[in-house]
């Protein structure tokens, strides 16, 4: 047994007082009125603030965060004047919420590279959302000759080129050259099949790389960002098909 299981087992022995003390006070004792000795039933006005500071509570009433022994023979609670205590409590909660909103809505400044990604892929997203999706990825340096995709292997990551150039080949035949704003590996992720092309860096640069699992979990929890990214991926794939086949994927151009 682990330590927690040992404590639970020991608590069954009356001689081991693990559960002698705890937050056993009833719900009504957590800051509400039950000990009312007023003539008119108006417990809140029965005594003033000066009395509340020194009054001994017979039943542990009007206390916050109370604890007691398991028989409730002895109860401890923060003795506060009830109207004032709740005012202080709600003021503290409101202050915490205001601070959280301030942190969430304060202006966010992007670096030049982050701003470039926003311009290329996420122009419709606020800066904070852009930072969130970038936080689950990692920056990578593109070195000439490095392979981002290798024929016959599955891709477990998606890369967005920010600077540099990547050449896509099949059997030594050049199919396309990817530049800033193009995704590398998005088609393979969607299809789930091993690659039948090679993607090799021919000009040094920088890219943002996302692990597929982390990216999928984030997009599932953020539908607005998912819509924007899928829209760009669809546009990216259509552009690649157009460059490879020479046939436009846009109906207006196919009709001409």
Residue by residue, DSSP assigns 42-101 as -GGGSS-HHHHHHPPPTT--SEEEEEEETT-SSEEEEE--HHHHHHHHHHHHHHHHHHHH
Residue 84 sits in the same domain as residue 139 = no
Structural domain ending residue among the three candidates 77, 104, 131: 104
Residue 50 lies in a domain: yes
pLDDT at res. 31: 43
Residue 134 lies in a domain: yes
Residue 66 sits in the same domain as residue 132 = no
Distances (CA, A) of 215 to 130, 148, 228, 229, 239: 13, 18, 13, 11, 23
Q: Is the pTM of this model over 0.75?
A: no
Supply the range of the domain harboring residue 95: 3-104
pLDDT at res. 253: 40
Residue 91 sits in the same domain as residue 123 = no
pLDDT at res. 139: 92
pLDDT 10s digits, 178-223: 888 888 887 765 566 677 888 899 999 999 998 888 888 888 888 8
> For the chain, which residues score pLDDT lower than 50?
27-32, 60-62, 248-256
Residue 156 sits in the same domain as residue 90 = no
> Which secondary-structure segment (H or E) carries 37?
none
Q: How many CB atoms lie within 10 A of CB 31?
A: 19
Cα–Cα distance between 92 and 78 in angstroms, integer? Answer: 16
Cα–Cα distance between 74 and 21 in angstroms, integer? Answer: 10
Residue 242 sits in the same domain as residue 130 = yes
Residue 94 sits in the same domain as residue 154 = no
pLDDT at res. 241: 74
């Amino acid at each position: 047994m682990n330590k927690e299981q040992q404590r639970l087992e020991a608590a069954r022995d009356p001689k081991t007082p693990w559960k002698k003390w705890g937050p056993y006070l009833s719900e009504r004792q957590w800051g509400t009125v039950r000990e009312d000795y007023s003539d008119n039933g108006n417990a809140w006005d029965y005594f003033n603030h000066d009395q509340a500071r020194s009054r001994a509570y017979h039943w542990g009433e009007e206390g916050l965060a109370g604890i007691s022994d398991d028989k409730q023979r002895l109860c401890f609670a923060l003795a506060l004047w009830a109207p004032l205590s709740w005012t202080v409590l709600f003021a503290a909660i409101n202050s915490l919420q205001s601070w959280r909103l301030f942190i969430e809505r304060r202006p966010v400044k992007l670096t030049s590279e982050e701003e470039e990604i926003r311009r290329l892929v996420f122009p419709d997203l606020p800066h904070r959302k852009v930072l969130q999706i970038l936080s689950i990825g990692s920056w990578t340096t593109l070195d000439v000759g490095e392979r981002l995709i290798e024929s016959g292997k599955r891709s477990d990551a998606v890369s967005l080129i920010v600077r540099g150039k990547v050449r896509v080949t099949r059997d030594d035949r050049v199919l396309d050259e990817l530049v800033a704003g193009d995704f590398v590996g998005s088609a393979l992720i969607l299809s789930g099949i091993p690659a039948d092309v090679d993607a090799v860096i021919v000009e040094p640069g920088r890219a943002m790389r996302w692990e597929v699992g982390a990216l999928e979990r984030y997009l599932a929890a953020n539908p607005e960002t998912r819509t924007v990214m899928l829209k760009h991926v669809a546009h990216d794939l259509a552009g690649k098909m157009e460059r490879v086949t020479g046939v436009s994927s846009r109906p207006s151009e196919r009709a001409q």
